[in-house]
Amino acid sequence: MSDAAADLVDEKVETRSQRLKRATRDLHEALDQRMMQGDLFSDRTRYALFLAMQWRFHAEIAALYGAPDLIAIAPDLPSRRKLEEIENDISDVGAAVPAADLRPVDAGDRASGLGWLYVAEGSSLGAAFLLKEAEKLGLGAEFGARHLAAHPEGRGLHWRRFTQALDAAELTEDEEARAEASAVAAFRRVREIAEETLRG
Ligand code: HEM
């Protein structure tokens, strides 16, 4: 098979969620490293910075979870919103919601919305590790780390339900490109928030 033909086959077998993963792998890895370097799980005061980061990101994307065009693609979207749990976690550890300026994401563009949601929902899959770290601080699904808890149906299944909906959405070529650019933008935005938060 020629290289071009092999590429075509590869393109066919790779799902949208797999493509988004590939497009953001390096950004995810760099972000993980930066966060671990930031020592966000060494005590509750540092952990409150992690919560502040999470709150800013989730506040900026909160409107996506109520957007009709996105709910048409993933009907369980409203129940996936984490903002209230993060706010409860913040008050559990005696901290306050950060006063930073928010840059809300445009909820009117479903293709971009899917890219941002891929990043937010994927972070709940990876949160098993973060929950373990939070547990070392005496926090957990009932107190202080509510937003890191696994969904009752299980993290893996809950994630697959989302990726199935994401992968099944019919997008134009232009929308496809916007979804990918938005997943990249989402990781860049989280990185930016992390830098600002860690700088203090
Ligand atoms: C120290 C911080 C982090 C660590 C150690 C971490 C770790 C992980 C791990 C281990 C997975 C794979 C889980 C699995 O396949 O079962 C994962 C997935 C993922 N994480 Fe993170 N993560 C971190 C922070 C974040 C943040 C802040 C975001 C974005 C807001 C994020 C977005 C994602 C996404 C989108 C996926 C899904 C990748 C895919 O399979 O398509 N992660 N993470």
All structural domains of the chain: 17-199 (1.20.910.10)
In short, whether 143's Cβ falls inside 6 Å of ligand 1 is no
35 in ligand 1 pocket by Cβ < 6 Å?
yes
Confidence band, pLDDT 50/70/90 cuts, at residue 200: confident
Amino acid at 108: G
Query: What is the per-residue pLDDT across 133-178, written as a single tens digit (0 to 9) for each?
Result: 999 999 999 999 999 999 999 999 999 999 999 999 999 999 999 9
Position in ligand 1 atom list of the atom nearest CA 57: 30
Note the pLDDT of residue 82. 98
Residue 44 in contact with ligand 1 by CB distance below 6 A? no
Note the pLDDT tens digit of each residue in 91-109.
999 999 999 999 999 999 9
Please give the pLDDT value at position 11: 55
Is residue 5 scored above 70 in pLDDT?
no
| The pLDDT of residue 72 is above 80 | yes
Of all atoms in ligand 1, which is nearest to the CA of residue 119?
35
Q: Is 98 in the pocket of ligand 1 (CB under 6 A)?
A: no
Mean pLDDT of 35-58: 97
Proportion of the chain above pLDDT 90, given as a percent: 92
What's the pLDDT band for 9 if we cut at 50, 70, 90? low
For the beta carbon of residue 136, count every other beta carbon within 10 angstroms: 10
Instruction: Determine which residue's CA is closest to atom 28 belonging to ligand 1.
Output: 123
Predicted confidence (pLDDT) at residue 110 exceeds the cutoff of 70: yes
Confidence of residue 116 (pLDDT cuts 50, 70, 90): very high
- In short, whether 194's Cβ falls inside 6 Å of ligand 1 is no
Of 148, 41, 56, 144, give the one whose Cα is nearest residue 99: 56
CA distance 102 to 70: 21
Mean residue pLDDT across the chain: 95
Could you tell me if residue 39 is left (phi over 0), alpha (psi between -120 and 50 degrees) or otherwise beta? left
Q: What is the number of residues in the chain? A: 200
**Residue 148: other Cβ atoms inside 10 A:** 27
How far is the C-alpha of 38 from the C-alpha of 99, rounded, in Å? 20
Query: What is the residue with the minimal CA distance to atom 22 of ligand 1?
Result: 126
